[in-house]
Amino acid sequence: MVFAVAVALGVGGGCKPKTGGKCRPGQSFCDGNKALACRGGTYVEATCGGPLGCKKADTDLLCDQSESTAGAVCVGDDDRACTPDKTAVLVCKDGRFVVAASCRGKKGCSPLGKLATCDATIADRGEACEKDAAFACSGDGKTMLKCTLHKWETHRFCRGASGCTLDDDTATCDESVAQVDDPCSVAGRIACSTDKKNELICQTGRFAVSRPCKTACRVSPTGHTVKCE
């Protein structure tokens, strides 16, 4: 993100400002790719890790923090940044960047100033997420995850051939193959057990054995039809 603050003239009678020193709003300076910014009445040093670095433009100071790391000092509350490897988006909280979400989707994290975007369509259980009730697929494509209290949690197991897919934020989970006690989404849905010995049925949100199959339980190539033979 890029912020602009007025450069103060004649601060402290010519004394060079230092990190931790007292300051007034608007007193900020460049030192290489570092910015010395006034936050809460005290100077803090922030790294300007984005491609624009730290520059002085007329009477303003420009610090590009569109790329940063977790734990680094940040200047603007709620400013956003991408990690250098573009796998996570950061947000400024209480003067430090913290991980807001993993960005394991194909588009990764896109540093667009304060509006950095995150492709969170692929994630791992337990990772941070931003939008509660959003969905993602696991990296192996066999689990659908749901963002709950800003953490990815298992929502469905997608053991069928099509696995878990996301198209324009619409999540699809192939539940044509399942295990007993797997969570399920549609009451009465039929599936084959992973060992192909039983037909399963979705009851009260969980798969249970419907009946054993004499020969085998088979799923059609499309995943739409289950036959217990």
Say how far apart CA 179 and CA 139 lie, in whole Å: 20
Say how far apart CA 89 and CA 85 lie, in whole Å: 10
Range of the domain at 21: 2-64
Kind of pairing between the strands at 42-47 and 34-39:
antiparallel
Domain end call among 64, 89, 112: 64
Let me know whether 192 and 152 are in one domain: no
Let me know whether 21 and 45 are in one domain: yes
Segment among 7-11, 87-91, 147-151, 168-172 with least mean pLDDT: 7-11
Per the domain annotation, does 109 fall within a domain? no
The pLDDT of residue 55? 82
DSSP secondary structure letters along 61-113: EEEE-SB--TT-B-SSTT-EEE-TTSSEEEEEETTEEEEEEE--STT-EE--G
- Closest alpha carbon to 180 in 206, 211, 143: 206
What CATH number does residue 182 fall under?
2.30.130
Q: What would the two tokens of residue 178 be?
A: 């399942």
Segment among 6-20, 90-104, 141-155 with least mean pLDDT: 6-20
Let me know whether 16 and 42 are in one domain: yes
Per the domain annotation, does 98 fall within a domain? no
| CB-based contact 217:227 (threshold 8 Å) | yes
Average of per-residue pLDDT across 112-119: 83
Let me know whether 181 and 208 are in one domain: yes
Per the domain annotation, does 108 fall within a domain? no
Q: What would the two tokens of residue 115 be?
A: 């509006």
pLDDT tens-digit series, residues 118-169: 999 999 999 999 999 999 999 999 999 999 999 999 999 999 999 999 876 6
Cβ atoms within 10 Å, residue 18: 9
- One-letter amino acid for residue 139 of the chain: G
Number of domains in the chain: 3
Let me know whether 125 and 152 are in one domain: yes
Let me know whether 8 and 58 are in one domain: yes
- One-letter amino acid for residue 181 of the chain: D
Per the domain annotation, does 96 fall within a domain? no
Let me know whether 199 and 146 are in one domain: no
- Torsion angle (degrees, nearest 10) of CA 125, 129, 131, 136: -40
Per the domain annotation, does 186 fall within a domain? yes
Domain end call among 49, 64, 79: 64
Instruction: Give residues with Cβ within 8 angstroms of 100, minimum separation 6.
Output: 80, 88, 89, 90, 91, 118, 128, 130
Per the domain annotation, does 82 fall within a domain? no
Per the domain annotation, does 170 fall within a domain? no
Residue with tokens 């549609």: 186
Per the domain annotation, does 101 fall within a domain? no
The pLDDT of residue 37? 84
Let me know whether 143 and 190 are in one domain: no
pLDDT tens-digit series, residues 101-111: 999 999 999 98
Average of per-residue pLDDT across 71-79: 85
* Percentage of the chain exceeding pLDDT 90: 63
Domain end call among 161, 192, 220: 161
Name residue 47's beta-bridge partners: 34
Q: Which three-class secondary structure state does DSSP give residue 157?
A: strand
Let me know whether 16 and 59 are in one domain: yes
| CB-based contact 4:62 (threshold 8 Å) | yes
